[in-house]
Structures are given as structure tokens and as C-alpha cells.
Chain A
Amino acid sequence: MKIIDGFVLRPLGEEFIVIGEGISQINFNKMISLNSTAAFLWENVEGKDFTVEDLTKLLTDNYEVEEERAAADAAAIAAKWIEAGIVSE
């Protein structure tokens, strides 16, 4: 899967939000916000083709988390991103 062109991460306090760079009207009610872990994943797969396994590895390599939990979290976040229309399958 891949982040769809034009979606970029912007910091918002301690969180991050995803904004379509070319979009002329930004609706804060439909905005996608990421916590720091999700933003870390995003930054590391930006511009690349990636899999749920890649996300899992990023989590286990960089955080103290068991592989099983990391895999479940990675699958969940990937599904959310696809559902939100910011990542293509």
C-alpha cells in the first residue's frame, strides 16, 4: 500500500494532522489526526510502497512492544488509513 499523493503531515500541538496539500477548503470536522506513534509510522513510509509487516517492524524496532500486539496495531492503523482514503491498497 502507499500514501496517496498530496497528503502531508502537519504538527498540531502534540499531535499531527493529515491535510491534502492541494485542497482549497479544509474541514476541521473531517480532519484526520494522528498521535505521535502513528505520525512516526507515517513519516517512515511516506513516498514508499509498504506493507502491514513493514509497519509492524517499525513498531517493534523502535518501541518496546511485543510483536503480536505491534502486528495487530499495524493492521488496525493501515485499515483506518485506507478507510479514510489517505492510503491506497
Chain B
Amino acid sequence: MYSAPQSSDRKTIGDDNYFALVDDLLKEGREVVITPKGNSMLPFIRNGRDEVVLTRLDRPAEIGDILLAKIGDRFIMHRVFAVEGDSITLMGDGNVYGKEYCGHSDIIGLVTEIRKAGGRIVKPGKGKAWRLLRPFRRYILAIYKRVIR
């Protein structure tokens, strides 16, 4: 069956193959720019709008790092909440409860830059203030979602 040759200039984020390629490119020492999906990193990373620059993590994970990790079958980009030896706890900035757990070998990359849809470039920082505000997150996020989205 003939299907016309096609060349398209956009590859949406998604499956295992996609992340396998991200992993390969990072291992080659390159930086990778992707547009994350989901609201779990609000308010810093907005679904489908902001781009992030990833690089390979060449040091142990630290609290506050935003990491892309493979946890089971899922690919998650969340902030490091705690590190104890090889046990890393992740939590999305936009999440109120849920946490994920992984080891250093599950880490694919580190977010080094957030490129806002308007073109502004933000260094991700360590999210300390946001962490301290955790008890109030649900209210701040609710207001944020009502006002901004």
C-alpha cells in the first residue's frame, strides 16, 4: 500500500519511543527542548504552552530540582521533594497531595530552563517558597486556575 511521503515539522509529546529518543539525545550530551503536558507543574510550567530545556543530570539529585524520570511505565516531570540516599521523592508543583518515588537510575534529565510562551526565559530555581506554601497550594492553585485559565 502506497502512502504519500510526508514530512511534518511537529512531533507531539507522547509515547515511549519519544522519551527513548529524549533519553538517547541527553546521553549523547545534548540539550533537549520539549513542551510538557499536564497541569501537575502549575504555576511554573503550563500545559502545552511553555517549553523546558532538559540536560543530563551529572550530579546527585537535590531538593528542588525539576526532573524528568521514568517511574514504572510513566514519564513524569516533577520537582524533587526529598532525597534519602538513592530514594528520591518527587512532587508536582501543581499537585496538592500526590508524590512519586524513584531512584537515581530512573532519572532521564534535569530541567535547566523554562521558556514561557511569551518568550520569557526563567531559570527553574529550587521552588523553596512554593514548597513552604504547600499548605496553601490548593487555594493558590484554585485562584490561579480561575484567573489565568
Chain A positions near chain B (C-beta within 8 angstroms): 10, 12-13, 17, 19, 23-38, 40-41, 59, 63-65, 69, 73-74, 76-77, 80-81, 84
Contact check, A33 vs B2: say whether CB atoms are below 8 A apart.
no
The residue on B at minimum CB distance from A29 is B35
Contact check, A37 vs B53: say whether CB atoms are below 8 A apart.
no
The verdict on A31 contacting B9 (CB below 8 Å), with A13-B15, A26-B32 known, is yes
Q: A38–B2 Cα gap in the complex (Å)?
A: 11
Contact check, A34 vs B33: say whether CB atoms are below 8 A apart.
no
Say yes or no: is B144 at the interface (Cβ < 8 Å to chain A): no
Q: A41–B2 Cα gap in the complex (Å)?
A: 13
Tell me, rounded to whole Å, the shortest Cβ–Cβ distance linking A86 to chain B. Answer: 9
Contact check, B3 vs A35: say whether CB atoms are below 8 A apart.
yes
Tell me, rounded to whole Å, the shortest Cβ–Cβ distance linking A15 to chain B. Answer: 8
Q: A84–B9 Cα gap in the complex (Å)?
A: 8
By a CB distance below 8 angstroms, the chain B residues around A84 are: 7, 9
Q: A38–B8 Cα gap in the complex (Å)?
A: 10
Choose one: A26, A27, A73; the contact of B5 (CB below 8 Å).
A73
Say yes or no: is B13 at the interface (Cβ < 8 Å to chain A): yes
The residue on B at minimum CB distance from A16 is B7
Say yes or no: is B11 at the interface (Cβ < 8 Å to chain A): yes
What are 12 A-B pairs with beta-carbon distances under 8 A?
Answer: A10-B21, A12-B11, A12-B18, A17-B11, A26-B30, A26-B33, A29-B35, A30-B9, A31-B10, A33-B9, A40-B5, A59-B2
Choose one: A28, A33, A38; the contact of B35 (CB below 8 Å).
A28
Tell me, rounded to whole Å, the shortest Cβ–Cβ distance linking B82 to chain A. Answer: 30
Contact check, A37 vs B6: say whether CB atoms are below 8 A apart.
yes
Tell me, rounded to whole Å, the shortest Cβ–Cβ distance linking B99 to chain A. Answer: 27
Contact check, A27 vs B21: say whether CB atoms are below 8 A apart.
no
Contact check, A38 vs B34: say whether CB atoms are below 8 A apart.
no
B120-146 toward A: CB 8 Å interface, digit per residue (1/0)? 000000000000000000000000000
Q: A23–B32 Cα gap in the complex (Å)?
A: 10
